[in-house]
Structure 1
Amino acid sequence: MLRVMLAGVLVGVAAVVTPPAAAEPQTCPPTCDEIPDTAWPEPWSLPLNSRYHWPRLADVAQPAPQSRFKFEELCRTPRQRDDPRDYAVAAKAVVAHPDGQWQLQAQVLHWRGQTWHSGDVANQVFVAAVAALEACQVTAPEFSPSITTAQIDRMAAVISGPQVVHQYLVVNPANASIAELVLWTTPGADGVPLVRWPMVPDERVLEAIDAPLCGAYLGSCGS
């Protein structure tokens, strides 16, 4: 009888201490040495989600030391000496599809330390990236960039050439972070992608990748 009673008590204790099925979202602080889960945009907010059903980016993201932006690979942009991205906390999510379909890459970079300094570093990286994109045809003549949105803290561009690329980049100096989203495909023989690009405003996409940074890096964007 005593064993039965003890067993019942242990079952009750186990039920009390069983952890919840879903953990609380990550934020910074305290997880500032990695990119918080909440820094990634929601799949439903990304272009072509109705076609490709993008995964939760935090689930496929990997650390990305010494990372580069996607357009730099295509444009063969020379890597600058002492690139500030070499000491950023960075993660990259890549979703691959067969040739002819749209591919996706998202990236978040964060610089630790006092934001008066680290925020300035993030802004310098953003400004340098915009300049490098504008010079793409100099380093890679087969690609032709067209900047469709150019603001002090956000940029969107379409790059035409052997691949069709939609590049988005935002900087948030208040939390010393940069977010990138890029989708690209290889057009068919007629120069037209197999899946037509949707008519989606740049600002909607840029806001989708910028807004999560405020929620991930607590206290960085005011009330």
Structure 2
Amino acid sequence: MRLLVAAVLASCGVALITPVSAPANPLDCPPNCDRIPRSAWIAPTSIPLYDVYRWPELSTLSVTAVTPLFRFEEMCATPTAAVDDPRTWAVASRASITSPDRQWHLQAQVIHWRGETWRGGELATAVFDEAVTALRNCQLSAPSTSPSVTTAEPTRMAAVLSAPDRSVLHQYLVADTRNSTITELALWSTAQPSVLWRPVADAAVLDALAAPLCTAYIGSCR
């Protein structure tokens, strides 16, 4: 019967239209997905010193971070985390840019916990809180390093760390419990940089880090 109807319609010049569903955006995924969407990274133009370094799209540089440590942990010689560190079972990606001496280097990370967001949110909060504590205690493991927390909020942190050799690190961290994710941005120089740091409000950088997560993990910020 269907073939007969189709033949009749075709003979009358009536086109048969098959509904086509719109493809999902490959940049995004639900909050409980097991990957880091390409849309989760901070926009290059929102990264400090963009006017000098013209940072590229970080998603094009990202690689799987098997051990997603924060940049300050190296500068602070933070003791190795326990074997039950929640980061060991998260999915994470890291993007790094290495520059010549006396220039600024960059590291960005997105760390995401799969599964139920209520549990992933707890893990993200725990890792964030431990990171803030470790940064504040930096001088216990690296006495010559001076940490200064410039923004301390329940799920957002910014800090500047300096050492006698004039190395300096600008560290930013955001935890979003709604999509079980932590995002990091770090910029540092291992000696007196030839490019002076351009003052930028912590809130502007932290907002730019957080905003993409609401897009990348569909519906998580409603």
TM-score in terms of structure 1 length:
0.85
Give CA deviations for 1:52-95 in whole Å, capped at 9, x if unaligned. 00010000000001210000011111122211000001000001
The 3-state SS of whatever aligns with 1:174 is coil
Q: What is the match of residue 211 of structure 1?
A: 211
Shift of 1:116: 1.1
**How far apart in 1 are the matches of 2:147 and 2:43?**
27
Alpha-carbon RMSD across the aligned residues, in angstroms, is 1.5
Determine if the alignment matches structure 1 residue 42 to structure 2 residue 43.
Answer: yes
Q: Counterpart of 1:5?
A: none
Match of 1:148 in 2: 150
Greater C-alpha Rg: 2
Indicate the SS of the match to 1:127: helix
Indicate conservation of the 8 Å contact 2:156/2:174, yes or no: yes
Specify the SS of the correspondent of 1:79: coil
- Structure 2 counterparts to residues 155-170 of structure 1, below 5 A: 155-161=157-163, 162=165, 163-170=167-174
> 5+ unaligned residues in a row in structure 2: which ranges?
1-23
Kept after mapping to 2: 8 A contact 1:25/1:38: no
Superposed displacement of residue 186, structure 1: 2.4
Aligned to 1:7: none
Task: State the Cα distance separating 1:199 from its structure 2 match.
Answer: 1.3
Does residue 73 of structure 2 align to residue 59 of structure 1? no
| Cα separation, 2, equivalents of 1:149 and 1:221 | 23
Pairwise mapping of residues 98-117 of structure 1 onto structure 2 (< 5 A)? Answer: 98-117=100-119
One-letter identity of the residue aligned with 1:174:
R
Q: Deviation per CA, 1:196-219, whole angstroms, max 9, x where unpaired?
A: 100100000001111101100011
Match of 1:202 in 2: 202
Aligned-pair CA distance for 1:26: 1.3
Aligned-pair distance for 1:34?
1.9
Distance 1:186 1:25 in 2: 38
Question: TM-score, normalized by length of structure 2?
Answer: 0.85
Give the counterpart letter for 1:74 in structure 2.
M
Distance in 1 (alpha carbons) for counterparts of 2:31 and 2:140: 43
Amino acid at match of 1:129: A
Check 1:116–1:143 CA distance in 2 against 1; reply closer, same or farther (3 A cut): same
Unaligned runs of 5+ in 1: 1-22
Higher helix share: 1
SS of aligned partner of 1:167: strand
Moved over 6 A (4+): none
| SS across alignment from 2:178 | helix
Asked whether the equivalents of residues 66 and 87 of structure 1 are also in contact (C-alpha less than 8 Å), the reply is: no
Q: Distance in 1 between matches of 2:162 and 2:26?
A: 38
Q: What is the CA deviation profile of residues 159-201 of structure 1, one whole-angstrom value per residue up to 9, with x for unaligned ones?
A: 011310000000000000000000000233xxxx211100100
Q: What's the % identity of the aligned pairs?
A: 53
Given that 1:39 and 1:215 are in contact with CA atoms closer than 8 Å, whether structure 2 keeps it comes out as: yes
Matched positions, count: 196
